[in-house]
Amino acid sequence: MDRKQLKKYKSNKRRIAGIKKTIDRLVEQLDNVPVVPGKVTKSGDEFPYIEQHVKVVMEEPKEATRLKERIREKQQDLSRLEQENEEVERYISQLPVGMKKEIFEMVYLDGMTQKEAGESLGYTQARVSQVIKDL
């Protein structure tokens, strides 16, 4: 575990919330895609399986495909960010009980500043920074 990954934890949480809102908005847009008549080909039910054209009602193909692709991309980003955050949480939970674990939980998981974490534990901000730096 490196410091870069720990620092990304907070921003990843914000990005996850934003991506979830974006996915919800895209799904809503997908539900509102206009329906258009179209033709598809099918083969006959019995031999000689002659090609036939059938009229169907479908979503606007280009718009629906574009929205589905964006939803898929956002879901991939979401799963990647969630996986990164789970690694950070797993790392912090595996630390032995003590000052270091408490500081990491407060600063990274609880979103406290180093000064706030230091005040609640009885340390200075400099000591908290030193413990984090010794990663």
List pLDDT tens digits, range 41-100: 999 888 888 999 999 998 888 999 999 999 999 999 999 999 999 999 999 999 999 999
Residue 2, pLDDT score: 82
Residues 80 and 102 in one domain: no
Which residues touch 71 (CB under 8 Å, ≥6 apart)? 23, 26, 27, 30
Residues 66 and 102 grouped into a single domain: no
Q: Which whole number is the average pLDDT over 14-36? A: 95
Q: How far apart are CA 26 and CA 65, in angstroms?
A: 12
Torsion angles phi and psi, residue 81, rounded to 5 = -65, -40
Whether residues 81 and 107 share a domain: the answer is: no
Measure the CA angle with vertex 83, ends 80 and 84; round to 5°: 90
Give the tens place of pLDDT for each residue, 53-62. Answer: 999 998 888 9
* Encoded tokens for 29: 């847009």
**Domain span holding position 108:** 95-135
> Are residue 13 and residue 39 in the same domain, yes or no?
yes
Are 132 and 107 members of one domain?
yes
What sign has the CA pseudo-torsion 19, 20, 23, 28?
negative
The predicted model gives 5-29 an average pLDDT of 95
Same domain, 117 and 75: no
- Does the pTM exceed 0.75? yes
